[in-house]
A and B are shown apart, each in its own frame.
Chain A
Amino acid sequence: MARFPSEAWFKEVQEVYNSDSSLHTGGGGACETTAAFKVGDECYRIVFEGHQCLEIRSASEAELASPETDFIIEMAPELWKAMVENIQEHGAAHDDHTLNSIDLRQDDSIAYSPEDDQARQDLFYRFNQNFQDFFDASSRVETTFD
Chain B
Amino acid sequence: MSEAPVREQEHELDTSWMDQMGEWGIKAKPGKRGLTLAEIQIGEYGELPETTDNMTGRPRGATRRPEAYRVGAYGVRNLSEIWLENATFLYEEALQRQWSSATDIPWHTIEPLPDDIEEAECLLCTFFNEVEFVAGDVPARWIAKTSPDFFEARHVLIAQVMDEARHMDVFRKRALANGGGLMRMSGATSGFIGSIDLARDFTEMSTRLHISGEGAVLTMFRMGELMGQNDAEKRMYRLCAQDEARHVAFGVMHLRFLCEHAPERRPEIECYLDEAEAQIMAGLQNPAGTQAETSEALAILLGGGKAHYDEGHKMLLVIRRRQLKEYMKRVQSAGFGERFENGRSSIPEQYAAAY
Contacts and interface: CB of A to CB of B under 8 A. Distances in A.
**A and B touching (C-beta < 8 Å)?**
yes
Interface of A: 25-32, 49-50, 96, 98, 100-101, 103-105, 107-109, 116-119, 121-123, 125-129, 132
Given A26-B104, A31-B93, A118-B333, A128 B242 contact: yes
Contacts of A122: 245, 248-249, 252, 330
B33 interface: yes
Contacts of A109: 322, 326
A87 to B, nearest CB: 14
Contacts of A128: 238, 241-242, 245
Interface in B193-242: 218, 222-223, 225-226, 234-235, 238-239, 241-242
A57 to B, nearest CB: 20
Given A27-B239, A122-B248, A132-B238, 17 more contacts: A30-B97, A32-B89, A32-B93, A50-B32, A100-B222, A100-B225, A100-B226, A100-B241, A107-B318, A118-B326, A119-B256, A119-B330, A122-B330, A123-B245, A125-B241, A128-B241, A128-B245
A49 B330 CA distance: 25
B314 interface: no
Contacts of A107: 318
Chain B, interface size: which category? Answer: 35 or more
Contacts of B319: 104
A27 B99 CA distance: 5
B322 A126 contact: no
A50 B33 contact: yes
Contacts of B249: 119, 122, 126
Main secondary structure, interface of B, reads: helix
Contact of A119 (B222, B322, B333): B333
B322 A100 contact: no
A26 B333 contact: no
Interface in B78-116: 89, 93, 96-100, 103-104
B345 interface: no
B253 interface: yes
B56 interface: no
Contact of B226 (A25, A31, A104): A104
B218 A125 contact: yes
Contacts of B226: 96, 100-101, 104-105
Given A100-B222, A118-B332, A118-B333, A29 B252 contact: no
Nearest 5 A/B pairs, CB to CB: A118-B329, A27-B99, A125-B245, A26-B104, A30-B96
A122 B221 CA distance: 14
